Amino acid sequence: MSKASALPLILVLLLALAGCGGSSSGPSGSPTPPAGLSSPDHVFLIVLENHGFSQVIGNPAMPFLNSLASQHSLAANYFANTHPSIGNYFMLTTGQIITNDDGFTGTVSDDNLARALAAAGKNWKAYLQSLPGIGYTGGDVYPYLKRHNPFAYFTDVIGSPATAANMVPFRQISTDLSSGSLPRFALIVPDAEHNAHDCPSGGTACTDTDKLAAADSWLQTNINPLITNSALANSVFIITWDEAADTDTANGGGQVATVLVGSHVKPAFRSNTFFQHQNTLRLILDLLQVSDHPGASTTAGGMNEFFQ
């Protein structure tokens, strides 16, 4: 064969090899997980309220959460993005702050976690303590606070009764667990009396210790049974806080504690890498092999270091 006739064949081979090496899809065309990440059956994101890292880690009022932080993985250099709450919930689900108005009554049509998951064929639910009913998209009904439920603002969700039905009262999680119908992704939000936002009996006329102890007790009662359930052994649990105290404005929303738990999560691991909520959004999508990364999660660094 002459050099002239061999050249096209060489180019074809080189292009084919380049295509194989650069592929990010599995056998069925779905994205493969980034190196170092497992592909869990379920990813659970649990969000608590308004307390900084130093208020939580090492606090005897929260023995359960601190036991998880010491036995599993702790992000020790993790910061919320803004004050007050609502912008952080949007960052966790859209990669954008969207608004800093806790009284926001508009809708959000930007790319978001619900849209990304649906496009990838992954189901989701938001388990919201004290939500008035399945698919509820209205305003606050205390102790349920709408601003802690970002899905209730997304046009993708509120424009479809079937999709809105993915927002359910927290008690539904036991039914879904028993029936084997837990979604691939679940957002879990305790109500204002159990997420350290308010006192366990409502209002603010209690000590901060009372608020934190109530949140810790809620986690132990409701989240620990999920963590220890053998049917959920191949799952990842991410427990974070929306923001620190208002007086802590470092990196926007102050330093918060973020704990990762799961069979593939490194035990007794403490990371000093800088992370924010957009990194958690990216992690959720990476774990579930979703290629769409809304907003700042597109350029956010991965959190692979937490996994074995």
Q: What is the pLDDT of residue 171?
A: 98
Residue 156 lies in a domain: yes
Residue 80 lies in a domain: yes
CATH of the domain at 163: 3.40.720.10
Instruction: Classify 10 as helix, strand or coil.
Output: helix
Q: What is the percent of the chain where pLDDT is above 90? A: 87
Q: List pLDDT tens digits, range 243-294.
A: 999 999 999 999 999 999 999 999 999 999 999 999 999 999 999 999 999 9
Q: What is the pLDDT of residue 166?
A: 98
Residues 6+ apart with CB under 8 A from 164: 135, 137, 157, 158
Residue 47 lies in a domain: yes
Look at strands 258-262 and 42-48 and give their pairing.
Answer: unpaired
Residue 6 lies in a domain: no
Which H or E run includes 240? strand 235-241
The Cα–Cα gap between 166 and 278 comes to 23
Q: What is the pLDDT of residue 34?
A: 63
State the total domains in the chain: 1
Q: Could you tell me the pLDDT band of residue 18, with boundaries at 50, 70 and 90?
A: very low
Q: List pLDDT tens digits, range 81-112.
A: 999 999 999 999 999 999 999 999 999 999 99
Residue 16 lies in a domain: no
Q: What is the pLDDT of residue 38?
A: 73
- Dihedral pair phi/psi, residue 167, rounded to 5°: -95, 115
Q: What is the pLDDT of residue 125?
A: 98
CB–CB of 71/228 below 8 Å? no
Print the domain residue range for 171.
36-306
Q: List pLDDT tens digits, range 151-200.
A: 999 999 999 999 999 999 999 999 999 999 999 999 999 999 999 999 99
The Cα–Cα gap between 104 and 47 comes to 20
pLDDT at 299 over 90: yes
Residue 226 lies in a domain: yes
Q: List pLDDT tens digits, range 218-244.
A: 999 999 999 999 999 999 999 999 999
The residue type of 53 is F
Partners of 260 in the beta sheet?
Answer: 73, 238
pLDDT at 30 over 90: no
Q: List pLDDT tens digits, range 35-68.
A: 667 789 999 999 999 999 999 999 999 999 999 9
Q: What is the pLDDT of residue 36?
A: 62
pLDDT at 117 over 70: yes
Residue 1 lies in a domain: no
Residue 227 lies in a domain: yes
Q: What is the pLDDT of residue 37?
A: 76
Q: Where are the beta strands (DSSP E) in 4-123?
A: 42-48, 73-75, 78-79
Q: What is the pLDDT of residue 35?
A: 61
